[in-house]
Copies of this chain bind each other. A is one copy, B any other.
Amino acid sequence: MWPMPGADRNSLNNRFCVNLRVYWEDTDAGGVVYYANYLRFLERARTEWLRALGFSQQDLAAQHGVLFAVTRVQIDYLRPARLDDELVVTCEPRRVGAASVSFAQDIRCISTPGVLAAAEVRIACLDTRSFRPLRMPEFLLSAFEAQEKP
């Protein structure tokens, strides 16, 4: 299904990913990236994945009345990221349901082998007004299913 258009996309064994730099704001007094900030990095990759598929979250909300909310995160922190590291964050849909999607995501450092953090993130499609789960519009569902990996 790849490649998709998108300025931030890079190739990591044919998986969608974004590159980002670790700045002072991301670190803590332990000298490494603060554990909650890995979730910010994961979200940037999911947002760029949506954008690369041609979807604007603001348009989805305004025109289709849907938004995505994270309902579950499981993340393993394997090795720390540090100031100035250049990271690669992947985003792959694994289970696409009628009102939710699970993503496999990992974070690597471009200068060292191996994975720094591995996550599974589940998002739900919600009604923008009621915040209740909503079946995804058909065009979203089929676009996501086309990207689904077993």
Interface residues of A, Cβ cutoff 8 Å to B: 8, 21, 23-25, 27-32, 34-37, 39-40, 43-44, 47, 56-58, 67, 69-77, 80, 82-84, 131
Contacts and interface: CB of A to CB of B under 8 A. Distances in A.
Given A28-B24, A39-B36, A76 B71 contact: yes
B35 A39 contact: yes
Nearest to A120: B74
A30 B67 contact: yes
3 pairs of A and B residues whose beta carbons are closest in the complex: A36-B39, A27-B29, A25-B40
A90 to B, nearest CB: 17
- Specify how many copies of this chain sit in the oligomer: 4
A137 B44 CA distance: 38
A75 B29 CA distance: 22
Contact of A24 (B23, B24, B43, B73): B43
A36 B32 contact: no
A25 B28 contact: yes
Given A69-B77, A72-B75, 8 more contacts: A23-B40, A24-B28, A28-B28, A35-B43, A39-B39, A69-B80, A73-B77, A74-B75
B29 A28 contact: yes
A17 to B, nearest CB: 15
A124 to B, nearest CB: 9
Nearest to A73: B75
